């Protein structure tokens, strides 16, 4: 017997035992804007037109995105996003057993939001692990059934390209079956410029050494105005997107992120989503869109407040609604906070990333989230939110249904 509970304050009901196989609707009429009270809320929230477009299968545009950000009714926005989420995944919520490795924080870029980077090798707090130290992180987890290694590094000016190729080969030697999701498009562009190759040559060489996919980092905000201010000296938007396009053409899947909650406007957020959607129309290579909540500690934008939970829920919900061609919306719990990530499972989110285990970029910027959640912890978070935990691998093949 399932337990009946209220859904996000909407007065609708769901039986938790059934959530894995929920039909499109959650106690509402999925073919229209829903119950009379929901219609009223959508109307009062300025969302009737958006809801009707969604019902008709018409794509949302920039103005719709603006309306979703401007609506006073966050729960109505969430209700719409949840409906789209359930169309795709019913109550299923994905996560993986992964580890995060940051091999060096030496970085020639000067992004204002970054608390992790150190400009030169000798600077206070700068570190670069040698390959044995990097591989030891995987060796030390021999007993874990992890399926993914996620590597993000600073842009180190002095390391040879062989360092990265050997790093990948070594991981595969230690564990042939592990998926290597390594190096953002920004790192790929940096390697191409530093080592005198094209972006495609770099991708091909890394793939030959064992690279399986690219993470979504480095996207920040695609709008030129924002990029010029917060990350002027790293790979620009066009190149970021072209590198993902090339990666997709070469057969890799990738993710795309958006750093929100600093100086960007709502319109720039929607524009960012639409640019990702446009590439996805051509390639279908993005697996997940990941909004990343800005953390203000220990960086040059520390005077700004961190985004609130309400903002986080709304950004994830709008992403679900705008990105109709991207399968998964991920809440990176390290960035959003565990409780908000759990709540976001009713606001369009169907993925919680993974166990992570070691993370520095957010913790150096003030994140108070734990460094690791076990698969049991994540599974419990999902279950107690009334959703169905599904452990996946990086490519969304099911590992176990918890």
Among 114, 313, 317, 381, binds ligand V47 (CB under 6 A): 114
Residue 320 and residue 150: Cα distance in Å, rounded? 24
CB distance 239 to 199 below 8 Å: yes
Residue 317 and residue 348: Cα distance in Å, rounded? 5
Using a 10 angstrom Cβ sphere, with 0-12 exposed, 13-18 middle and 19 or more buried, the burial of residue 25 is middle
User: By beta-carbon distance, which residue lies closest to ligand V47?
Assistant: 217
CB distance 382 to 388 below 8 Å: yes
220 binds ligand V47 (CB under 6 A): yes
Q: Which residues pair with 180 in a beta bridge?
A: 149
Binding mask 56-85 for ligand V47 (x = CB under 6 A): ------------------------------
**Region from 20-28, 253-261, 269-277, 381-389 binding ligand V47, contact rule CB under 6 A:** 253-261
Shortest CA distance to 38 belongs to which of 16, 54, 57, 23? 54
Site for ligand V47 in 125-164 (CB under 6 A): 152
CB distance 80 to 129 below 8 Å: no
Residue 260 and residue 256: Cα distance in Å, rounded? 13
**Region from 6-14, 138-146, 277-285, 294-302 binding ligand V47, contact rule CB under 6 A:** 294-302
**Site size for ligand V47, by CB under 6 A?**
22
How many residues are there in the chain?
402
Under 8 Å CB-to-CB from 27, ≥6 apart: which residues? 7, 12, 13, 14
Binding mask 318-337 for ligand V47 (x = CB under 6 A): --------------x--x--
Q: How many CB atoms lie within 10 A of CB 239?
A: 16
26 binds ligand V47 (CB under 6 A): no
Q: How many CB atoms lie within 10 A of CB 283?
A: 16
Question: 73 or 127, CB closer to ligand V47?
Answer: 127
Question: 19 or 381, CB closer to ligand V47?
Answer: 381
257 binds ligand V47 (CB under 6 A): yes
Among 69, 79, 94, 113, binds ligand V47 (CB under 6 A): 113
349 binds ligand V47 (CB under 6 A): no
| Edge-to-edge strands, sheet with 148-151 | 98-101, 148-151, 179-182, 213-214, 253-260, 286-293, 328-329
215 binds ligand V47 (CB under 6 A): yes
Question: 21 or 298, CB closer to ligand V47?
Answer: 298
365 binds ligand V47 (CB under 6 A): yes
**What is the closest distance, in whole angstroms, from the C-beta atom of residue 274 to ligand V47 in the complex?**
19
353 binds ligand V47 (CB under 6 A): yes
Binding residues vs ligand V47 (CB under 6 A): 113-115, 152, 215-218, 220, 255, 257, 259, 290, 292, 294-295, 299, 332, 335, 353, 361, 365
């Amino acid at each position: 017997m399932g337990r009946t509970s209220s859904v996000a304050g909407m007065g609708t009901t769901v039986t938790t035992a059934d959530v894995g196989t929920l039909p499109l609707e959650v106690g509402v009429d999925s073919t229209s804007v829903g119950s009379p009270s929901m219609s009223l809320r959508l109307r009062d929230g300025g969302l009737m037109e958006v809801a009707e477009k969604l019902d008709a299968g018409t794509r949302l545009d920039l103005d719709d995105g603006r309306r979703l950000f401007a609506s006073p009714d966050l729960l109505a926005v969430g209700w719409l996003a949840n409906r789209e989420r359930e169309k795709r995944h019913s109550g299923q919520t994905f996560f993986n057993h992964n580890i995060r490795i940051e091999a060096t924080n030496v970085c020639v870029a000067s992004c204002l939001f970054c608390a992790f980077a150190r400009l030169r090798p000798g600077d206070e707090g700068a570190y670069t692990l040698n390959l044995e130290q990097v591989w030891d992180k995987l060796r030390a987890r021999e007993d874990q059934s992890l399926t993914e290694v996620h590597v993000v590094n600073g842009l180190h000016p002095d390391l040879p390209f062989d360092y990265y190729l050997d790093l990948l080969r070594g991981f595969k030697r230690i564990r042939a079956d592990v998926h290597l999701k390594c190096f953002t498009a920004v790192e790929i562009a940096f390697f191409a410029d530093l080592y005198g190759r094209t972006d495609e040559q770099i991708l091909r060489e890394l793939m030959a050494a064992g690279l399986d996919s690219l993470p979504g980092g480095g996207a920040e905000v695609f709008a030129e105005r924002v990029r010029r201010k917060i990350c002027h000296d790293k790979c620009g938007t066009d190149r970021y997107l072209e590198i993902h396009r090339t990666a997709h053409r070469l057969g890799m899947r990738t993710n795309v992120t958006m750093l929100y909650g600093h100086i960007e406007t709502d319109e720039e957020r929607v524009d960012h989503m639409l640019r990702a959607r446009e590439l996805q129309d051509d390639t279908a290579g993005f697996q997940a869109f990941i909004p990343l909540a800005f953390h203000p500690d220990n960086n040059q934008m520390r005077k700004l407040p961190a985004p609130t939970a309400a903002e986080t829920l709304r950004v994830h919900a709008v992403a679900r609604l705008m990105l109709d061609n991207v399968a998964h919306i991920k809440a990176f719990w390290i960035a959003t906070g565990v409780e908000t990530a759990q709540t976001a499972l009713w606001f369009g989110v169907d993925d919680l990333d993974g166990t992570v285990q070691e993370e520095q970029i957010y913790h150096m910027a003030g994140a108070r989230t734990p460094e690791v959640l076990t698969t049991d912890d994540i599974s419990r978070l999902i279950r107690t939110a009334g959703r169905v935990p599904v452990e996946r691998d990086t490519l969304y093949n099911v590992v176990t249904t918890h």
